[in-house]
Chain A
């Protein structure tokens, strides 16, 4: 069975601190990986994606993620967060079908 685990449901962090949001997946086939962000009362928008090539992927708003095939992980990082990064973040992958994780709520504190 395919699944996505986001180990932290909530992550509070102070402004300008670094952050890592963790994502692990389970699939018997090769996958394409995605991170989406959802701001309050809005739909999801794509932050970044890994289809092939370099395992370090850079996205919008200064976010990046690294695909680790041996650990089946795709953790999202940002070296210095802003108040405006407060949102819910979803990890997703496509293997045999699209699967979304349960989400991590990032709260950036002043």
Chain B
């Protein structure tokens, strides 16, 4: 069974902390994505990566950075967490950019 896993289901952090969200896929997919999901706004793309060490900004990259050192792993970094980054974060992967994306279970991040 194909799988995308995320390091935490729930996370609580304080304002100003550095936060790492990890995502791993076992499908040998080229592309990986980070989204945030907020009520009424659907999914908004933060960053995506089409190859190891390659990244592209999505619609809302401000306040975030990413790292892809290995094909199967894609990390989202909040350099200095703020309360407006409280959200559900979803990781996804796909073989080609136009192919269906496979999603992880999500990480619900609360920043206090």
Contacts and interface: CB of A to CB of B under 8 A. Distances in A.
Interface of A: 9, 32, 34, 36, 41-46, 49, 51, 90, 94, 97-98, 100-103
B100 A49 contact: yes
Interface in B72-89: none
Contacts of B102: 46
Interface of B: 4, 33, 35, 40-43, 45, 90, 92, 97-98, 100-106
Given A94-B98, A97-B97, A102-B40, A44 B103 contact: yes
A45 B42 contact: no
Nearest to B10: A41
B42 A98 contact: no
Which secondary structure characterizes the binding site on chain A?
A: strand
B93 to A, nearest CB: 11
Contacts of B4: 43
A42 B97 contact: no
B97 A45 contact: no
A41 to B, nearest CB: 8
Contacts of A44: 43, 90, 92, 101, 103
B34 to A, nearest CB: 12
B97 A43 contact: no
A36 B103 CA distance: 10
B69 to A, nearest CB: 23
